[in-house]
Structure 1
Amino acid sequence: MDNYISTVGFVQALFGILLFLTKRPRHLSFMFLTIWMVIIAIFQGSYLLPFEVVDYFKPGIFPIMFLTGPLLYFYVYSLTVENFKLKPIYLLHIVPYLLVSVHRSTISAVAIGSTPNLIENPYYLYNRIYYSFLIFSVFIYWFLGLKHIISHRKNIPLYFSNYSGKNTLNWLVFVLTLFLLLFIISFFTAYIKILELNVFNWTTLSFNLTVFTFVMIYFGMNQSVIYNKEKNWKMSSRSETSQENDEIAKEDVILASEKYKEFNDLIINYLKSQKPYLNPEYNLQMMVDDLELSRHKLSQVINSGQKKNFYKLINGFRVEEVKEKLLDPGYEHYSILGVAMECGFNSKASFNRIFKEETNLTPTEFKKQIGRK
């Protein structure tokens, strides 16, 4: 049973490596997933060896588990932060891995799966300590990852015109929570074994990682890049960040001295004539590309000139488009929801809510009202 679970987990991890290496468009988030799969493959593969790794390599395989939390966290970070770049300071996240590896190299380290009887195997005490620190680490990275997702969701109206599974990352909240729960389960089952209650064996962690790997591959392959303007594969420096901030500061000065009317009229005329909002995937970057204005400038003009965020501005135009089509005899054979989808909405719930906010009427009430005219 032990070898079967490890074999399944090992093969799954190899399959995940292949999938994420070939996934397009390339993005830093897929690199983190690929490395995560490599670590899982190494860990699961160690169970298939006919010997204990610590007999030939003193740190053993267990320390690499301290990298799983940081990698999952940086996967979340790279998805939810636009233009995410690697920085040298991020190397601090591998310190726990290094500390555990060094410590295990200086003692008579024993395999994590060895007997937990402290009389027969006194060095197993350190394994308990490692495990406790690992759970603490996983909890910290779970919290940080969740914090980034919540922060990202607050920014969705500033960039996207619709809420979707792609940009809300509901699945990732589930995966993060599952990640935490599986490690906690492994932690407690390890202590059950310490009490010599043979309810579970050490393969609990191997089994849980196998389950988690399957879930991560499934959802990770379905998740496309959220912010895909640039491919940031290089380490960023302070000078680059400072230069970007200087450019934004200069732009603020220019905008402060100019009237917003010219830019505001440009945006409104563009939306009326081009009707880009009919695309449910429409976002602020698409507007930037079409108008050839900076993101920062557009955001300022929309927020100050329209007194709305991007989400409300675009959906206001969509509501007006729906109203026009409901009055158009050519759309009489369409359902209200069908018209909404033609106008760029992507769900019934969001359409009904936004339509009511814009008109103080439900779509059905509006249609009845125009039917009486």
Structure 2
Amino acid sequence: MNTSELNNFLVILIYGSLVLLSLLELTNPLKVNKKANAFFGVFLFLWSTFWLDEVFSLVKGSNVEIHPLIFVQVIQFLTPIVFYFSVLFFTNPAFKFKLSDVKYAVLPVIFLVNLLFRYFGIINAGISALIFIGLILVQALFYTGLSYFTIRKHQRRIQMFSSNTEEINLNWLEYIILVIFVMNIGYIIYNLFYDSTSLNFFINIIFLLVVYFVACYCLRQKEIYPAGKKVQEELISISSETEAEAVKKKLISDEDFLKIKHNIEAVMQSEKPYLDSELNLIRLSELLSISTHHLSYVINKGFNKNFFQYVNEYRIEYAKILLKNDKNNKLSILGIAYESGFNSKTSFNNTFKKLTDQTPSEFKKTSSSL
């Protein structure tokens, strides 16, 4: 099998995988993040259309060009914006489109008008091509950047209500953005100076790996705000505030503030709820019989930490005790991580290193030599 045949095989795999993955996301077998998965499914289908020319050419046995069709070009142009909508709903499932959101249609409408003007000969083909390329670059860069910063903001926000963020931080979406962005830039540069035909095979291999990476993570993505609608909206409103904003607002009297702060410390020390890897703001607020807003406010203002930092400091202190105790020598680092309330070794190592400037293994060796 030569390189050309291998490349054709890769094209079929990529297209088939994207269409199948799109259908799985749209049917959403886990019934989580419903709106986000619906938009992400549409994004995957639109992404698959970039291989339509090659797929139809293989089916027909001769060169077929679907891409130049106005309809196909328009839906392909919408790919970055649909991806951004999926990110919006992943990070805020309560998001609703408003009249002001008509702004999202501005670039697609300009793009469509440009295509129609060129088709009917109203505008010079050369000028139209420049506008075409410019709009594609602007749309792709703008929504790629917007998606990236929305995810980064989300990663900070979820620390306001969750003690373990690995399964809801959307890192996998961030990686997709970075990989596709780097690949596209590399492809454009290569196109300018070399024959891109020889690059297609390697690009398709990377794209296939990206598709499988996407499949691995998007199909197991958990519900990011796992609660009823009312509590979900409350959590979103809390996580939408910055910690500085949360501290500035005076939600309760000084007397109640000190009482709640004392109760939090007492419960954390006596009942050790931080050992529960699924502990979040809702569970702790129920344990203390106070609202999530009040709990978040007291933790932010009373301890100068967000919920994630506050809980994980307790976990690290507990882990230190286990690491120092010779009776726990049979426990592996992963075992100690689980015993301390962490749900992965990576999360445990990163948090431990951040708070102690040592890895758990280094801390254990230092402690045993004393």
Taking structure 2 as the reference length, the TM-score comes to 0.72
Instruction: List aligned pairs for 1:179-328, cutoff 5 A.
Output: 179-185=180-186, 187=188, 199-200=196-197, 207=204, 212-229=210-227, 254-256=251-253, 258-325=255-322
1:31 corresponds in structure 2 to 38
2:137 corresponds in structure 1 to 135
Asked whether the 8 Å contact 1:158–1:309 carries over to 2, the reply is: yes
Instruction: List aligned pairs for 1:158-173, cutoff 5 A.
Output: 158-162=160-164, 164=166, 166-173=167-174
CA 1:342–1:210 in 2, change beyond 3 Å: closer, same or farther?
closer
Gaps of 5+ in 2: none
**C-alpha separation in 2, matches of 1:38 and 1:160:** 33
**C-alpha separation in 1, matches of 2:78 and 2:165:** 32
Q: Secondary structure at the match of 1:334?
A: coil
2:363 corresponds in structure 1 to 362
Question: Shift in Å at residue 324 of structure 1?
Answer: 4.7
CA 1:25–1:226 in 2, change beyond 3 Å: closer, same or farther?
same
**C-alpha separation in 1, matches of 2:23 and 2:112:** 28
Structural RMSD (CA): 4.3
Q: Give deviations 1:258-305, integer Å, cap 9, x for gaps.
A: 521222233233333442211334332332354453332111111223
> Between the two proteins, what is the percent identity of the paired residues?
21
1:18 corresponds in structure 2 to 23
Could you tell which deviates more after superposition, 68-77 or 294-303?
68-77
Matched letter for residue 26 of structure 1: V
CA 1:198–1:325 in 2, change beyond 3 Å: closer, same or farther?
closer
Question: Shift in Å at residue 316 of structure 1?
Answer: 2.9
**C-alpha separation in 2, matches of 1:209 and 1:128:** 27
CA 1:106–1:350 in 2, change beyond 3 Å: closer, same or farther?
closer
**C-alpha separation in 2, matches of 1:229 and 1:84:** 16
**C-alpha separation in 2, matches of 1:3 and 1:329:** 60
Determine which of 61, 65, 88 is the counterpart of 2:72.
61
CA 1:139–1:315 in 2, change beyond 3 Å: closer, same or farther?
same
Q: Give deviations 1:118-162, integer Å, cap 9, x for gaps.
A: xxxx73663453133212221122222222233233335433324
CA 1:214–1:336 in 2, change beyond 3 Å: closer, same or farther?
closer
Asked whether the 8 Å contact 1:158–1:310 carries over to 2, the reply is: yes
Could you tell which deviates more after superposition, 147-156 or 82-91?
82-91
Q: Secondary structure at the match of 1:34?
A: helix
Q: Give deviations 1:185-231, integer Å, cap 9, x for gaps.
A: 55456667xxxx86439989x95876654443333224333333356
Could you tell which deviates more after superposition, 85-94 or 132-141?
85-94
- Counting matched residue pairs gives 337
Determine which of 78, 83, 103 is the counterpart of 1:92.
103
**C-alpha separation in 1, matches of 2:257 and 2:303:** 10
Asked whether the 8 Å contact 1:66–1:96 carries over to 2, the reply is: no
Instruction: List aligned pairs for 1:322-361, cutoff 5 A.
Output: 322-325=319-322, 331-335=328-332, 338-345=335-342, 346-347=344-345, 348-350=348-350, 352-353=352-353, 356=356
**C-alpha separation in 2, matches of 1:343 and 1:199:** 53
Asked whether the 8 Å contact 2:285–2:295 carries over to 1, the reply is: yes
1:175 corresponds in structure 2 to 176
Q: Give deviations 1:92-130, integer Å, cap 9, x for gaps.
A: 2233223222332343279xxxxxxxxxxx736634531
Q: Give deviations 1:315-336, integer Å, cap 9, x for gaps.
A: 2322343355457676353356
**C-alpha separation in 1, matches of 2:185 and 2:213:** 17
CA 1:42–1:230 in 2, change beyond 3 Å: closer, same or farther?
farther
Matched letter for residue 215 of structure 2: I
**C-alpha separation in 2, matches of 1:304 and 1:18:** 46
Q: Secondary structure at the match of 2:223?
A: coil
Q: Secondary structure at the match of 1:181?
A: helix
Taking structure 1 as the reference length, the TM-score comes to 0.71
Matched letter for residue 155 of structure 1: R
Question: Shift in Å at residue 87 of structure 1?
Answer: 3.7
Structure with the larger RCO, 1 or 2 (CA within 8 Å, 6+ apart): 1
Matched letter for residue 17 of structure 2: Q
1:117 corresponds in structure 2 to none
Asked whether the 8 Å contact 1:159–1:310 carries over to 2, the reply is: yes
1:118 corresponds in structure 2 to none
